[in-house]
Homo-oligomer: A and B are copies of this chain.
Amino acid sequence: MSRFLDERYKELEPYTPGEQPKNLKRLIKLNTNENPYPPAPGVLKIISREEAEGLRLYSDPEAAELAEAIGDFYGIDKSMIMTGNGSDEILAFIFMIFQGKNRRFYFPEISYSFYPVYCDVFGAEAVKVPLASDFSVNPRDYERADGTIVITNPNAPTGMAMSLKDIERILKSNRENLVVIDEAYVDFGAESCVKLLKGYDNLLVVQTFSKSRSLAGARIGFALGHEEVIADLNRIKFSFNPYNLNRLSIKAGVEAMRDREYFEQMTGRIIRTREKFVSEMEKMGFILLPSKANFVFARHESIPGEEYFTKLRKYNIIVRYFGKPRIRDFVRITIGTDNEMEELLTATQEILKEYRQEDPQYEKKENT
């Protein structure tokens, strides 16, 4: 820490992203919820020498072409869309400028672990609302709040989705509070609340190209909301980093958004792989929370989460382990290709067999 750093940042605990190993050969990477399939064919085509030459020029600070493509997809006007350098940048702006009178944010205790970091960065209070005993988000806990509400739907790392009815309940009782629904994983079986935008000007939806559109490395996020809320976000963007999206990402995003068919095929494929994987895991004694995301949150009856995580690593499979209260037994597993999931299942069988041999208590545990 340098002597120049302002006091208020000295205690800051930065967010820890999932590991991004440099050498992916012989590694099955199921730790950061990336899409196992390549971006849409149009994306692969547009990333070309010609576009590389164009890099000498600045990008369009409004990324108008991209906002239009998103607007076309959802059937809304581009004045209701703001684009960012990944949804993380948009979330940062939200925690910066929409703190509410009491400078307070309500979000589930178990959720995207970046939210409390943003609160620390921007000097807001984090109100961490416990999940229900089944790990679901209880809408009643957010009724008549006195601050901004941020809910990931489906939630991470649980993968569990809320119904639109429940979200509407929160929106209705919080007309004077902004309600942010982070839909990073919504395209894998949950329902988007974009359709609620018409009735609720206190709703702000955040989405990303990182998961369902296979563009994690292009860094594109977007927010959908009432025109005035979007104008506020753009005001801070133009006061912080106007050219926040690079030229190639804008092009890639446009192509990815326009290809609805490819998008539906790939998300459908991941959903099918997930359902198959879930039932195989259950057969082996795993308990999985009901996932509507491109990952599952799983724990085993007997083998501790951290041990399972560590042993998978020996099979060159990386998943994510959080080791936090209430979720110490769980690992989060991204849904990859069918082949990748089969390799994980095979490795898991081996691990369980080993574990049974090592641990004389195993049979007993299994039968209790």
Interface check A285, CB cutoff 8 A: no
The chain B residue with its CB closest to the CB of A24 is: B57
Q: Give the docked Cα–Cα distance between A156 and B86 (Å).
A: 30
Partner of A216, one of B51, B57, B64: B57
Interface check A361, CB cutoff 8 A: no
Identify which of residues 32-84 in chain A touch chain B, using a CB-to-CB cut-off of 8 Å: 32, 34-39, 43-45, 47-49, 51-61, 64
**Which of A182-190, A229-237, A321-329, A344-352 is the contact stretch?**
A229-237
Dominant SS among interface residues on chain A: loop
**Which of A10-18, A163-171, A298-306, A308-316 is the contact stretch?**
A10-18
Identify which of residues 156-196 in chain A touch chain B, using a CB-to-CB cut-off of 8 Å: 176-178
Interface check A318, CB cutoff 8 A: no
Copies, count: 2
Nearest Cβ on chain B to A90's Cβ, whole angstroms: 10
With A47-B52, A59-B217, A229-B4 as contacts: A249 and B252 at CB distance below 8 Å: no
Interface check A228, CB cutoff 8 A: yes
Interface check A146, CB cutoff 8 A: no
With A38-B56, A217-B56, A217-B247 as contacts: A9 and B51 at CB distance below 8 Å: no
Interface check A287, CB cutoff 8 A: no
Nearest Cβ on chain B to A299's Cβ, whole angstroms: 26
Interface check A117, CB cutoff 8 A: yes
Partner of A14, one of B121, B178, B238: B238
Asked whether, in the complex, the Cβ of A20 is within 8 Å of the Cβ of B52, the reply is: no
Interface check A26, CB cutoff 8 A: no
Asked whether, in the complex, the Cβ of B98 is within 8 Å of the Cβ of A20, the reply is: no
Nearest Cβ on chain B to A9's Cβ, whole angstroms: 5
Q: Give the docked Cα–Cα distance between A20 and B57 (Å).
A: 9
Asked whether, in the complex, the Cβ of A240 is within 8 Å of the Cβ of B92, the reply is: yes
Asked whether, in the complex, the Cβ of B218 is within 8 Å of the Cβ of A247, the reply is: yes
Residues of A in contact with B (beta carbons under 8 Å apart): 1-6, 9, 12-18, 20, 22, 24, 29, 32, 34-39, 43-45, 47-49, 51-61, 64, 85-86, 88-89, 92, 97-100, 117-118, 120-121, 148, 176-178, 201-202, 210, 214-219, 226, 228-229, 231-232, 235-236, 238-249, 252
Closest CB pairs A-B (n = 8): A217-B247, A14-B238, A47-B52, A2-B228, A56-B214, A55-B217, A4-B178, A219-B246
28 A-B residue pairs with CB within 8 Å: A1-B228, A2-B201, A2-B226, A4-B148, A4-B177, A5-B97, A5-B232, A6-B98, A15-B239, A32-B58, A36-B56, A38-B52, A39-B53, A47-B48, A47-B49, A47-B51, A55-B215, A56-B214, A58-B216, A85-B246, A86-B244, A88-B242, A89-B244, A121-B239, A216-B243, A217-B246, A218-B247, A219-B245
